[in-house]
Amino acid sequence: MKKIKELKAEEIDRIIEMAWEDRTPFDAIKAQFGISEGETIEIMRRNMKRSSFKMWRARVQGRATKHSQKSPEDMTTFKSRMQRGIALNKISKR
């Protein structure tokens, strides 16, 4: 398990991007980066503007697609079909 301080800038950008995507569950972030939902929230809080964080938090809190235990049973992919390919690009939401 990686600690938040050990993450590279590219990894933090990717975590923020995955967390911002409505269809990517927190379990996918945990599987890929080894950080929990709480740690993901902390990364979002530290790296986003306060208003953006509040908007995101209100949007994902209790959302079925962000929590696999609340998701439909047929949801087996971590990535939305509409999500475009990403190659370690910076996120402009900072």
Is position 40 within any domain?
Answer: yes
Two structure tokens written together for 71: 């998701």
Cβ neighbours of residue 27 under 8 Å, at least 6 residues apart?
Answer: 68, 78
pLDDT on residue 60: 85
Percentage of residues in the chain with pLDDT exceeding 90? 47
pLDDT on residue 23: 85
Q: How confident is the model at residue 81 (pLDDT cuts 50, 70, 90)?
A: low
Is position 86 within any domain?
Answer: no
Is position 2 within any domain?
Answer: no
Range of the domain at 18: 7-70
Coil, strand or helix: which one is 76?
A: coil
Cβ atoms of 29 and 17 closer than 8 Å = no
Cβ neighbours of residue 17 under 8 Å, at least 6 residues apart?
Answer: 86, 91
Is position 91 within any domain?
Answer: no
Is position 90 within any domain?
Answer: no
What does the pLDDT average to over 16-28?
A: 90
Domain count, the chain: 1
Q: Is the pLDDT of residue 35 over 80?
A: yes
